Amino acid sequence: MSALPVETTETTQSTGSVTTAASGIPASYAVPAPLVAALTRRLVTGPRPEVRPCITPLTGAVLHELPLSTRADVQVAIDHARSAQRAWARLPIAQRATIILRVHDLVLDRQVQLLDLMQLESGKTRLQAFEEIADIALVARHYGRAGAAHLATKRIWGAYPVLTQAETVRQPYGVVGIVSPWNYPFTLPIGDTIPALLAGNAVVLRPDPQTTLTALFGAQILHDAGVPDGVLQVVSGEGPTVGQAVVELADYVCYTGSTEVGRAIAQTAARRLVPSSLELGGKNTLYVRADADLRRTVPGAIRASFGSAGQLCIHAERIVLHESIADAFLAAFVPAVAAMRIGPALEYGDDMGTLVSQRQLDRVQAHVADAVAKGAQVLVGGRARPDLGPFFHEPTVLAGVTADMACRDEETFGPVVSVYRVGSDEEAIALANDTAYGLNASIWSRDVRTARALARRIRTGTVNINDGYAASWGASGAPMGGMGQSGLGRRHGAEGITKYTESQTIAAQHLAPIAPFGGLDDRRFAAALTGGLKLLRRLGLR
């Protein structure tokens, strides 16, 4: 398939200044039909597939029609991927890494079309969509440069030094099945695909139907970078059908989504004795210590709480304030939240976009209504904004949240944050750990050394100091994942690529066997080996 046409100039039009397309939505809010056709040709579907209308959450209008795969199509994709994987795995890793490094450049060069697609499909702001562009560039660069070292053969001491020569090598699983959600439509499917491919696997990817075009754009970039035909297959459809088929047929399963679905996927994988990695929900805490710089903390807390309209598994849903600075923080934070720019523009400038669907809006409204009915106070926000679009909701700050309110312990996954007051670091750590989840946390303090010590006591996979989530997420060489009900396994870093491989030990024995030899009987052999083991211990050898 030839490369897609690429726009090279940034879009500057807003909803109020463009004409209306035949579909009834602004012209700049439509995906060109040739682009839809080019992208959907990459899907594995039958000759006359069922189609699903996909809307843009910015306006609620139909954006395009998505051809859907069937379980039989998933089987075809798995078979083609397995066939292509053998030749791909035989390529030297340096050659695969060169391809991955090309992805870095292509993503940056093609960002304008990609930003449009992400905004149209997910409803996030342009700057928050750009976070995904930057993220994939970072991931491609990290694995393109460091992936070979992560997968390098390791030489191991054997039973007899020198005479026993052992090594551990990494073997790809074969076909990795990736089931990804809608909230980060480029970062999650493509960011997980890159290390899986570099490790020598083929990939069958099932992106969420809401954001399949964005994932297909990423698949096209991988193809144009040099990934051979067949090595990356993309299927489309709902999770309970097509996603489940991927889980039941792949050699390794990578899933990002809800904890409830993650448990079911883990059970399916376990029955098949197939490994899996799962990044699931979160109920993340942002703690503002007594010594925090509030001029820096307030805008950071806004980003942490309302990034991607709160539809981000690592965003803050709890803000814990040391009582000595609580009033000062809220005096600055609440007006700053009220002043946030909310809108659907396909241009830079808005602070927050829309929720992705009526289902998400219903959940947010239900959590706010439940909290208010049980005595919580709305400090700012609290209302839907149908004047902006069908699923917009104001960024909302709640106080007085108690344990009998749904938003206290359940993941809201929307632009709602609750504030709590504590009298000490000990209380803050206890509250941060008072959840079944363990994904991300944030500490704001001028004393970074003390903050690091506190971070080690929080049971989350990542902790950020003086940042909400970008510091740890953007450290592509460091692992990221969840504890507790937030999942299993890690992405990024060495663990983010070695998880896609099986370790294999190959050991060669030279000259003498690990058994009686040279006329030694069993007793003398055991005595000689005892003496040798004691000597090795005294010499400090492993």
- Residues 105-146: tens digit of each pLDDT: 999 999 999 999 999 999 999 999 999 999 999 999 999 999
Distance between CA atoms of residues 274 and 266, nearest Å: 9
Query: Helix 111-122 and helix 212-225: axis angle, to 10°?
Result: 160
The pLDDT value recorded for residue 26 is 63
Q: How confident is the model at residue 3 (pLDDT cuts 50, 70, 90)?
A: very low
Residue 211 phi/psi, 5-degree rounding, is -130, 30
Over residues 31-35, the mean pLDDT reads 93
Residue 377 phi/psi, 5-degree rounding, is -110, 135
The pLDDT value recorded for residue 47 is 93
Among residues 91, 77, 135, 37, the alpha carbon closest in space to that of 226 is found at: 91
The residues, any chain, with a CB within 8 Å of residue 539's CB and separated by 6 or more, are none
Q: How confident is the model at residue 541 (pLDDT cuts 50, 70, 90)?
A: confident
Q: Is the pLDDT of residue 11 over 80?
A: no
Q: Other C-beta atoms within 10 Å of 327: how many?
A: 10
Dihedral angle over CA of 499, 502, 503, 508, nearest 10:
-160
Q: How confident is the model at residue 45 (pLDDT cuts 50, 70, 90)?
A: very high
Over residues 73-96, the mean pLDDT reads 98
The pLDDT value recorded for residue 471 is 97
Q: Other C-beta atoms within 10 Å of 14: how many?
A: 16
Q: Is the pLDDT of residue 501 over 80?
A: yes
Q: What tokens appear for 103 in the block? A: 């992805």
Q: How confident is the model at residue 18 (pLDDT cuts 50, 70, 90)?
A: very low
Residue corresponding to tokens 């990578």: 254
Distance between CA atoms of residues 52 and 180, nearest Å: 18
CA dist 320 → 213, 420, 439 (Å):
39, 5, 17
The pLDDT value recorded for residue 157 is 87
- Which domains are present in the chain? 15-40+49-280 (3.40.605.10), 284-477 (3.40.309.10), 515-542 (no CATH)
Give the percent of the chain with pLDDT over 90: 93
Q: Up-side HSE of residue 221: CA atoms within 13 Å toward CB?
A: 31
Give the percent of the chain with pLDDT over 70: 95
Sign (positive/negative) of CA torsion 125, 126, 127, 132? positive
Average pLDDT, the chain: 94
3-state secondary structure of 403: coil
CA dist 369 → 373, 406, 426 (Å):
6, 10, 31
Among residues 221, 223, 227, 193, the alpha carbon closest in space to that of 207 is found at: 193
Among residues 477, 447, 444, the alpha carbon closest in space to that of 463 is found at: 444
The pLDDT value recorded for residue 4 is 54
What's the pTM value of the predicted model, to 2 decimals? 0.94
Residues classed as catalytic: 279, 313
The pLDDT value recorded for residue 165 is 94
The pLDDT value recorded for residue 23 is 37
The pLDDT value recorded for residue 7 is 41
Q: Is the pLDDT of residue 22 over 90?
A: no
The pLDDT value recorded for residue 27 is 59
The pLDDT value recorded for residue 29 is 82
Among residues 280, 212, 211, the alpha carbon closest in space to that of 461 is found at: 280
DSSP code for 21: P
Listed in sequence order, the DSSP H helices in 2-56 are: 33-40
Distance between CA atoms of residues 110 and 129, nearest Å: 13
Q: Other C-beta atoms within 10 Å of 19: how many?
A: 8
Over residues 243-263, the mean pLDDT reads 98
b/e per residue 142-159 (b: at least 16 CB within 10 A): bbbebbbebbeeeeeebe
